[in-house]
Amino acid sequence: QGTRDHPPAHAALRDRLLAAVVACFKRHGAAAIDTPVLELRETLTGKYGEDAKLIYELQDQGGELLALRYDLTVPFARYLAMNKITNMKRYHVAKVYRRDNPATTRGRYREFYQCDFDIAGQFDPMIPDAECLKIVHEILSDLQLGDFLIKVNDRRILNGVFAVCGIPESKFITTCSTVDKLDKMPWEEVRSEMVGEKGLSPEAADHIGEYVQLHGGLDLIERLLQDPKLSQNKLAKEGLGDMKLLFEYLTLFGITGKISFDLSLARGLDYYTGVIFEAVLLQQENDHVEEPVSVGSVAGGGRYDGLVGMFDPKGRKVPCVGVSIGIERIFSILEQRVKASGEKVRTTETQVLVATPHKHLLAVRLKLISELWDAGIKAEMLYKKDPKLLKQLQYCEDMGIPLAAIVGEQELTDGVVKLRDVATREEVRMPFYTRFQKCFQNLEITESSG
């Protein structure tokens, strides 16, 4: 439950999707790494806050205490620290595991793919951060998912806001997780959670509300840099300065049209320390799908400068920024779209079916298909001694195989193969090359013994 087999049509669509994402990661010069599905339990403890209860643990059968990885970020940080790597651009596409309540219609499973791209290293500010946003932009554009928006914020700006609103530092993280709900609840509800559950004063909550409902672009950044209170806060000033720089780089990339500086964006995870971002699709093409799917965010990420240090015995920090593409959610959208369009996803890549029109020609088919395979051509034949031609052509139609290479007595005599376009039924006779023809001269002997 919450895991699933991927039948060929799934797997083929998923392969195409993953290929597009990986192509983008490679275009940006990332190297692949692979880490084990099994991690030591202690590596995962204390990294996911409340979500720790969702970690799958392995039975103690002697040896180390193990768990299934929960994401790809913590293993990456563990990998960097273990190998004392201070500088790396990597991608990782792999499955992660969560003992969650699966919401399969929204593309949430207990076993699912993550596609992560991360840049580790001490660099000049906002250059790698800008590249992560460019990557999100490229992937969502490439996949033609419709209109999208990338919300950007900075944990330092949020913390600055909390500080100038008089929130004690001990309540920053819990206030942050309440702000994070603004994409699912109206402000009134978020406000009452702040005052009720989190114990903020109504005035502080209202004050926060004035800030976190703001969103815009460079103009908003400039305005907040002039804000009499916020401009006095060191963290906020730093964050806003970097945000301005980020927008300049994004302008050079030509992608600010899809970027929104949004103070309500908080992101759930504790480990973010700077820029955070999240991409949402702006509308489903509802006229094309039967049931509209609410998919939420399709990509997210941010800067986490402290995580690697948690795994280093001396606490040495390696600044990191990364992005995770929500491939499962994107997959459910594409799947719905394919279903609605009635398009048939080809599950194989076979180019030609080797066929014979009458009996006693199995040897001819075996010989011909072997030549085709050796020439790198994707070819199939039916595993029957004497299949009917109709059955063979039917198989082509069922599997979407575009061509049939037909050889009968007449073709053997003439030294040709009849190449048939399955869709149009057009046929051309093509001579097959000498070596092949020569082989057929000796076929009688082999055939008679078959």
Binding residues for L-histidine: 71-73, 98, 114, 118, 267, 271-272
Select from 152, 136, 373 the least CA-distant residue to 274: 152
- Pick 248 or 270: Cβ nearer its own copies: 248
**Given candidates 19, 58, 282, 430, which one binds its own copies under the rule CB under 8 A?**
58
DSSP state letter for 60: -
- Pick 314 or 383: Cβ nearer its own copies: 383
d(CA 243, CA 81): 29
Per CB under 8 A, which region of 91-99, 186-194, 230-238, 402-410 contacts its own copies? 91-99
Q: Name residues contacting its own copies, limited to 335-374 (CB under 8 A).
A: 347-350, 362-363, 366-367, 370, 373-374
Q: Residue 266 in 3-state DSSP?
A: coil
Binding to its own copies by residue 42, rule CB under 8 A?
no
DSSP state string for 79-134 = HHHHTT---EEEEEEEEEE------GGGT--SEEEEEEEEEES--STTHHHHHHHH
Strand partners, 38: 68
- Pick 82 or 173: Cβ nearer its own copies: 82
Q: What is the 3-state secondary structure (H, E, C) of 342-364?
A: CCCCCCCCCCEEEECCCCCCHHH
Binding to its own copies by residue 253, rule CB under 8 A?
yes
- Pick 95 or 171: Cβ nearer its own copies: 95
Binding site, residues? 71-73, 98, 114, 118, 267, 271-272
CA angle 76, 78, 84 (to 5 degrees): 100
Place of tokens 């593409």: 325
At closest approach, how far in Å is the CB of 298 from its own copies? 20
The contact pattern for its own copies, residues 108-137, with x = CB under 8 A and - = no contact, is --xx-------x-x-xx--xx-xx--x---
Binding to its own copies by residue 434, rule CB under 8 A?
no
**Given candidates 378, 391, 429, 438, which one binds its own copies under the rule CB under 8 A?**
378
Pairs from 201-205 (Cβ < 8 Å, separation ≥ 24): 201/166, 204/165, 204/166, 204/167
Per CB under 8 A, which region of 79-87, 194-202, 221-229, 294-302 contacts its own copies? 79-87
Per CB under 8 A, which region of 233-241, 295-303, 306-314, 375-383 contacts its own copies? 375-383
Binding to its own copies by residue 99, rule CB under 8 A?
yes
Structure tokens at 394: 């039917």
Binding to its own copies by residue 147, rule CB under 8 A?
no
At closest approach, how far in Å is the CB of 112 from its own copies? 10
At closest approach, how far in Å is the CB of 377 from its own copies? 7
Binding to its own copies by residue 383, rule CB under 8 A?
yes
DSSP state letter for 171: G
How many whole angstroms from its chain centre is CA 148?
16
